[in-house]
Amino acid sequence: MTDTARTEPTGPATRTTRDLTKAAVSGWLGTAMEFMDFQLYSLAAAIVFNKIFFPDVSPAIGLIAAMATYGVGYVARLAGAVYFGRMGDRIGRKKVLFLTILLMGASTTLIGALPTYASIGILAPILLVALRLVQGFGAGAEIAGATVMLAEYAPTKRRGLVSSLVSLGTNSGTLAASGLWAILLGVLSEEQLLSWGWRLPFLLSFLLMIFAVWLRSNLKESPVFEERPDVVDGVAMSRTEVESALVDSSLDQKQESVLEAGIRQRKGRAFFLALGLRFGQAGNSGLIQTFLVGYIATTLHAERSVPTDAIVYGSLLGFLTVPLVGLLGDRFGRRPMYIALTLLTMAFAFPMMLLITSGTTSALMLGMVVGLNVGVLGLFSLESVTMAELFGSRTRFTQLALSKEIGGILATAIGPVVAATLTAVTGSWWPIAAMLVVYSLITLVSALLAPETRGRDLVRLEDAV
């Protein structure tokens, strides 16, 4: 196997504009589907699941329990990140992305067919958690795989813009889910929503899954994966095989250095920097897109449609924010944009909560729309390309997936539960603003410590640091 190994990166294999378009649409659609599935679930958890799956507890405890079922999916995501991430680095990105989207779509559809607590008692929330775990297992490598695929397909000088399509996918999925829920809340009565209306968005996701699976089956492999110097016949060499190649007398000094750099580098620094970069966006997302929806409805007693409408408007604005941040990142670099956005988020955290709790619908919506675009979507646009550039091609999929999912567990999954507990204990909104500041500060420090990665050769096997 090592006799025919290519040992010197020559740059990404040639791909046509059509290939790039298919990869872009595939990455966008898969990510849109993931975030639609998860936003459908998170909104359902905030609006109806506490009533149909946890009806025998107080509203506050029901909200905490519903947020907990939202959070358990992130544990499964971590397992999926490990399993599918290693598979993606070993046999390629395309095969993994086909499997992940199939798992996500099937489990989401089945959630819409679940019996409720009134029908089968405690078994209903148990089944809900089980499907949430399957959904999370598939999603654990979906966004990482889409991020890697787009970054590895993109022209170097437009990598930030092309990679931002992953963020547009999250935005599209959030918008679709929020729009569906806004329609349901606007046209259905409380009784209709709780009896059958909540099922519709989950069941309709089946159609999107069919199209996404078809598209993924016709997608070419990542050009960077094909050009990796440790890949032979579509499969990456193991560490033992690489070490065997290093003692092959037919290799010159440059060829040896290429392979040795990929396996000798001590891992860890790039991973923890990526984890810190992930923390702000993930934590802010859990608070703004998940927790605040339930908080506004149950604690502030606003109309249930108000927070979902705000997310819809914020997502629409995001179609401008996301590519703009991607372009600015290509123009000025990743670090300056990270620093600017995290500082803006920290400065806006307390004013945002003052707007949301002002009692005025327009002020509430303004706070959520600005917070969503600056503290979530803008950071996600940067995250999509920066994390891919931080890691070497030999372990990019695995490290990127793990940093995203560990960050998701520590921030997105746990955050809403912590926020629900702190606001219930204090009877105030200030813990939400404080958490936004802390999350953003972690990302700010990470950005200051990280190297500038714009324009890095993604075929290189070693990490950027």
pLDDT beyond 50 at 374: yes
* Rg for the chain, CA atoms, rounded: 22
- Stretch (H or E) spanning 358: none
Distance CA 285, CA 412 (A): 7
Lowest model confidence (mean pLDDT) among 66-75, 293-302, 385-394? 66-75
DSSP character at residue 4: G
Q: What is the pLDDT of residue 81?
A: 92
pLDDT beyond 60 at 12: no
- State percent of the chain over pLDDT 90: 35
Distance CA 422, CA 297 (A): 17
pLDDT beyond 70 at 250: no
**CB-based contacts of 357: which residues, under 8 Å, 6+ apart?**
300, 364, 429
CA-to-CA dists, residue 145 to 33, 88, 155, 173, angstroms: 14, 8, 18, 17
CA nearest to 465, candidates 338, 452, 445: 452
pLDDT beyond 90 at 277: yes
Q: What is the pLDDT of residue 176?
A: 84
Instruction: Look at residue 214 and give its three-state secondary structure.
Output: helix
Q: What is the pLDDT of residue 48?
A: 78
- The count of other CB atoms within 10 Å of the CB of residue 192 is 12
Which tens digits make up the pLDDT trace of 321-333?
999 999 999 999 9
Number of DSSP helices (H) and strands (E) in the chain, helices first: 22, 2
Q: What is the pLDDT of residue 4?
A: 38
Which is more confident, 268 or 363? 363
CA nearest to 443, candidates 346, 349, 331: 346
Q: What is the pLDDT of residue 254?
A: 61
Q: Any idea what the Cα angle at residue 37 is, between residues 56 and 140, rounded to 5°? A: 105
Distance CA 160, CA 454 (A): 8
Average pLDDT of the chain, as a whole number: 84
Q: What is the pLDDT of residue 7?
A: 39
Lowest model confidence (mean pLDDT) among 43-47, 265-269, 332-336, 340-344? 43-47
Instruction: Look at residue 232 and give its three-state secondary structure.
Output: strand
pLDDT beyond 90 at 452: yes
Query: Which domains are assigned to the chain?
Result: 19-226+265-449 (1.20.1250.20)
For the entire predicted model, the pTM comes to: 0.82
Which tens digits make up the pLDDT trace of 181-235?
888 888 888 888 888 888 888 888 888 888 888 888 888 888 898 888 888 778 8
Confidence class of residue 69 from pLDDT cuts 50, 70 and 90? low
CA nearest to 303, candidates 262, 360, 348: 360
Which tens digits make up the pLDDT trace of 20-59?
888 888 888 888 887 787 778 777 876 777 777 766 655 6
Average pLDDT (353-360) is: 93
Q: What is the largest CA-CA distance in the chain?
A: 76
Q: What is the pLDDT of residue 14?
A: 62
pLDDT beyond 90 at 413: no
Most confident range, picked from 36-50, 59-73, 251-265, 420-434: 420-434
CA nearest to 49, candidates 30, 72, 32, 26: 72
Which tens digits make up the pLDDT trace of 206-219?
888 888 888 888 88
CA nearest to 227, candidates 463, 3, 23, 461: 461
Distance CA 313, CA 291 (A): 18
Confidence class of residue 3 from pLDDT cuts 50, 70 and 90? very low
Average pLDDT (133-160) is: 89
Confidence class of residue 356 from pLDDT cuts 50, 70 and 90? very high
pLDDT beyond 90 at 339: yes
Q: What is the pLDDT of residue 60?
A: 62
- The count of other CB atoms within 10 Å of the CB of residue 118 is 12
Lowest model confidence (mean pLDDT) among 90-104, 144-158, 188-202, 257-271? 257-271
| Residue located via tokens 């649409």 | 25
Q: What is the pLDDT of residue 253?
A: 63
Instruction: Look at residue 236 and give its three-state secondary structure.
Output: strand
**CB-based contacts of 332: which residues, under 8 Å, 6+ apart?**
none
Cross-strand pairs, 235: 232
